[in-house]
């Protein structure tokens, strides 16, 4: 079998999978021992034909795939894959370009450069900011906080690049209670230690309290501090007040970092833009393309207002690299050397959707999330905990015996077991809740109807 036949076979399998999305169970139907016994064959001595490997791979994994690319998957914040980005992703693998530096693939470097510029303009970030295309928000936080750490410590006469952190001035990281855990991991990785984290009070809606932020910053005058703000928290999609919080932080000499894994995309929609007002005045931003832009994993951007701070945290050199005048070497702005040319899929998504298409995608998902939360919340035995202001919301299921937490987990488990829709659970303000998240282009009104009907049936004991 030649290359073409293997590729055609893989394309047939992919088509078959996508065509089955409406009818297959969203929850995987295989358990771990089914999967292990199907996949854990003795490692063969002789190689196998490519088409046989592909057929086996499809057969042995089929029942263990989560239908997270389905229009009725509302768990975590997992975007779908636009047809154009899937096609560009196939080409990315076929071209197999190493996007380390300009010389390893001029096309990959140029495409990535264009994507960074387009995104700044789309998301309302300063045109002068630098950017890096990374694996996701986790790595974007790490790069942004490395830039912040280095700059804040240089300003205090301490060069982390040469001296390390032993003996360095203590750093503080201030954030609201609803931060994503990925911030904490970046803090640990950067040697700042979790004791650097200080939780600032939030108001009833989950937004950081300005008076508390001010008091907290005053308590450590002249100490290097980063204030991490949230553009869309993972439970209720809450946005911090960027203009005021940013001003307070800057007045205290702090660096402002924004976790906008999905919420930063509100800036692409005229209707939702008010939520990110003032976000452009921050010092760094992290966001994902594999969520709301619907490109395949793994794809996220970091933006840094001070390009020098960004570059000095990452820059390196080696005798065998090739520098080409007036070009952009991606390696200077991200964590990797050899890397996938992730820019092709982002480029394809942005060209395919255009500004209005991105805005429409964002608004459509928000509409679906609103319907899901409010219509499920209206059912007997359900209750809205957090009405979505964007694409995230929370519902609680109630029990006559009063154990609402147990009832909520029980109903979620039944929905998942039905295979008809998929929602996840969370603990929010101390109570169990069902999270509703919509960020897949594939979700239609019919998907929303089907998901609501599924929940209605479960609550009615059908
Ligand atoms: C608000 C928020 N921040 C950070 C992350 C981490 O992003 P990633 O999984 O791309 O590293 C997520 C992921 O769901 C998120 O929702």
Q: List pLDDT tens digits, range 431-457.
A: 999 999 999 999 999 999 999 999 999
> From ligand 1's centre to the CA of 88, what distance in Å?
23
User: Tens digits of per-residue pLDDT, 69-115?
Assistant: 999 999 999 999 999 999 999 999 999 999 999 999 999 999 999 99
The 382-386 sheet, strands edge to edge: 382-386, 392-397, 431-437, 424-428
User: Tens digits of per-residue pLDDT, 294-325?
Assistant: 999 999 999 999 999 999 999 887 778 888 89
For 88-349, CATH number out of 3.40.50.720, 3.40.309.10, 3.40.1080.10, 3.40.640.10 equals 3.40.640.10
Q: C-alpha distances in angstroms, 404 versus 74, 416, 428, 451, 457?
A: 21, 18, 13, 21, 19
- Residue 62 burial (C-beta neighbours within 10 Å; 0-12, 13-18, 19+): middle
What is the model's pLDDT at position 1?
52
User: What is the best residue among 74, 137, 436 to mutate for testing ligand 1's pocket, by most ligand atoms within 8 Å of CB?
Assistant: 137
From the alpha carbon of 230, which atom of ligand 1 is closest?
1
Mean pLDDT for 194-221 is 95
What is the model's pLDDT at position 163?
97
- The domain ranges of the chain are 3-68, 88-349
Mean pLDDT for 20-37 is 96
Q: C-alpha distances in angstroms, 241 versus 225, 255, 282, 443?
A: 18, 16, 12, 30
Mean pLDDT for 224-245 is 97
- Residue 336 main-chain phi, psi, to 5 deg: -115, 160
What is the model's pLDDT at position 217?
97
State the DSSP code for 340. Answer: -
**Which pLDDT band holds residue 346 (cuts at 50, 70, 90)?**
very high
**Which pLDDT band holds residue 173 (cuts at 50, 70, 90)?**
very high
CA–CA dist 354, 432 (Å, integer): 39
Which residue's CA is the nearest one to ligand 1's atom 14?
77
Instruction: Answer yes or no: is the C-beta of 363 below 6 A from any ligand 1 atom.
Output: no
> From ligand 1's centre to the CA of 359, what distance in Å?
21
% of the chain residues with pLDDT over 90? 95
What is the model's pLDDT at position 3?
77
The pTM score is 0.97
Q: What is the mean pLDDT of the chain?
A: 96
CA–CA dist 264, 373 (Å, integer): 22
Residue 53 has pLDDT above 70, yes or no: yes
Taking 3-state DSSP, the helix, strand and coil percentages for the chain, each rounded to the nearest 5, stand at 45, 15, 40
191: how many CB neighbours lie within 10 A of its CB? Answer: 15
What is the model's pLDDT at position 204?
92
7: how many CB neighbours lie within 10 A of its CB? Answer: 14
> From ligand 1's centre to the CA of 48, what distance in Å?
39
**Which pLDDT band holds residue 221 (cuts at 50, 70, 90)?**
confident
User: Tens digits of per-residue pLDDT, 349-383?
Assistant: 999 999 999 999 999 999 999 999 999 999 999 99
405: how many CB neighbours lie within 10 A of its CB? Answer: 17
Question: Could you tell me which residues come within 8 angstroms of residue 91 by beta carbon, excluding any fewer than 6 positions away?
Answer: 344
């Amino acid at each position: 079998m030649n290359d073409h036949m293997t590729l055609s076979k893989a394309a047939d399998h992919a088509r078959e999978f996508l065509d089955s999305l409406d009818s297959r169970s969203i929850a995987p139907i295989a358990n771990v021992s089914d999967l292990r016994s199907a996949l854990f064959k003795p490692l063969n001595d002789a190689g196998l034909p490519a088409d046989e490997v592909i057929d086996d791979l499809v057969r042995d994994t089929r029942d263990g795939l989560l239908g997270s690319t389905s229009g009725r998957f509302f768990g975590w914040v997992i975007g779908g894959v636009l047809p154009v980005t899937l096609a560009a992703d196939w080409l990315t693998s076929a071209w197999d370009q190493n996007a380390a530096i300009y010389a390893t693939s001029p096309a990959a470097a140029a495409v990535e450069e264009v994507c960074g510029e387009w995104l700044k303009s789309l998301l309302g970030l300063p045109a002068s900011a630098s950017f890096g295309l990374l694996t996701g928000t986790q790595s974007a936080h790490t790069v942004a906080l490395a830039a912040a750490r280095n700059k804040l410590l240089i300003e205090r006469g301490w060069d982390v690049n040469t001296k390390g952190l032993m003996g360095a001035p203590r750093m503080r990281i201030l954030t609201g209670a609803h931060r994503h855990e990925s911030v904490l991991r970046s803090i640990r990785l950067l040697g700042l230690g979790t004791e650097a984290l200080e939780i600032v009070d939030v108001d009833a809606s989950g937004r950081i309290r300005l008076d508390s932020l001010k008091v907290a910053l005053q308590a450590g005058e002249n100490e290097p501090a980063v204030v991490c703000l949230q553009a869309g928290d993972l439970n209720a999609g809450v946005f911090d007040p960027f203009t005021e919080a940013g001003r307070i932080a800057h007045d205290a000499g702090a660096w402002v970092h924004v976790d906008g894994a999905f919420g930063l995309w509100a800036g692409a929609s005229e209707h939702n833009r008010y939520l990110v007002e003032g976000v452009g005045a921050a010092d760094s931003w992290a966001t994902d393309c594999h969520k709301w832009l619907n490109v395949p994993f793994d794809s996220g951007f970091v933006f840094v207002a001070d390009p020098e701070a960004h570059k000095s945290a990452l820059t390196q050199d080696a005798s065998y690299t090739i520098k080409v005048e007036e070009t952009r070497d991606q390696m200077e702005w991200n964590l990797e050397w050899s890397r996938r040319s992730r820019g092709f899929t982002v480029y394809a998504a942005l060209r395919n959707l255009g500004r209005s298409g991105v805005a429409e995608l964002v608004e459509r998902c928000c509409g679906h999330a609103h319907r899901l939360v409010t219509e499920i919340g209206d059912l007997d035995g359900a209750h809205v905990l957090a009405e979505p202001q964007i694409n995230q919301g929370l519902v609680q299921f109630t029990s006559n015996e009063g154990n609402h937490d147990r009832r909520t987990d029980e109903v979620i488990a039944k929905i998942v077991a039905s295979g008809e829709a998929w929602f996840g659970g969370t603990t929010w303000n101390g109570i169990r809740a069902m999270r509703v998240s919509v960020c897949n282009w594939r979700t239609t009104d019919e998907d929303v109807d089907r998901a609501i009907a599924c929940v209605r049936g479960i609550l009615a004991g059908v």
